[in-house]
Amino acid sequence: EDKVVQSPLSLVVHEGDTVTLNCSYEVTNFRSLLWYKQEKKAPTFLFMLTSSGIEKKSGRLSSILDKKELFSILNITATQTGDSAIYLCAVEEAGNNRKLIWGLGTSLAVNP
């Protein structure tokens, strides 16, 4: 059965810390891996990764994919209280429907 596993499930850090969130997957027909930030209800898109070893970067956030070892990491440097959220990882299946398989998320709390 296809699955996406995120770790840790929750994390509490202090402002200024650097965090690394993990996402491993077992998906038969892989197309891409996506990271989202969910603060209230709607997830907001962070990154889409399709190729191994190419880092995507947006401000203090960066992410990279390893298609051989079947995992991705999301790094957040110099964390701020506004980074507190649930970070979701999803793998998009290849095919017409492009179904997303979601992990449970990592709940990040950044304390001042």
Question: Residues interacting with other proteins, by CB under 8 A?
Answer: 34, 40-45, 47-48, 50, 56, 88, 90, 97-100, 102-105
Shortest distance, position 102 Cβ to other proteins, whole Å: 4
DSSP readout, 20-82? EEEEEEE-SSEEEEEEEEESSSSEEEEEEE-STT--EEETTEEEEEETTTTEEEEEE-S--GG
- Give least dist CB 75 to other proteins, A: 17
Residue closer to other proteins, measured from CB, 35 or 83: 35
**Calpha distance 25→22 (Å, rounded):** 10
For other proteins, give the closer residue by CB, 48 or 73: 48
Report, in Å, the least distance between residue 69 CB and other proteins.
22
